[in-house]
Amino acid sequence: ETIYNCMDIDAHHIVPLCEDYGRRLSNDNIVSLCRKHHKMADAGKIPRSEQTEWTREEHRAPPGVK
């Protein structure tokens, strides 16, 4: 079962600002994540390559949401 969390959403920089401040506003460097997944991404538990792929995919609303 998929659970969608729309609470506690953070903007996550795939390439951290301390590594490349110039990409801070690049659409291909920012994803919206819930706190749990933001912590996982920061800890390296979600590969940057996967995060980058999310910026390329068509973003659709969850089922039942218009």
**Residue 26 near residue 41 (C-beta atoms within 8 A):** no
**Residue 33 near residue 42 (C-beta atoms within 8 A):** no
- Answer with the residue of higher pLDDT: 41 or 1: 41
Buried b vs exposed e over 12-26: b needs ≥16 C-beta within 10 Å?
bbbbeeeeeeebeee
Averaged confidence pLDDT in the chain = 85
Q: pTM here?
A: 0.75
- Answer with the residue of higher pLDDT: 2 or 52: 52
pLDDT digits (tens, 9 = 90+) for 14-45: 999 999 999 999 999 999 998 989 999 999 99
CA dist 57 and 63 (Å) reads 17
CA dist 17 and 40 (Å) reads 17
In this structure, the number of other CB atoms found within 10 A of the CB of residue 61 comes to 8
Give pLDDT, residue 64: 59
Give pLDDT, residue 5: 74
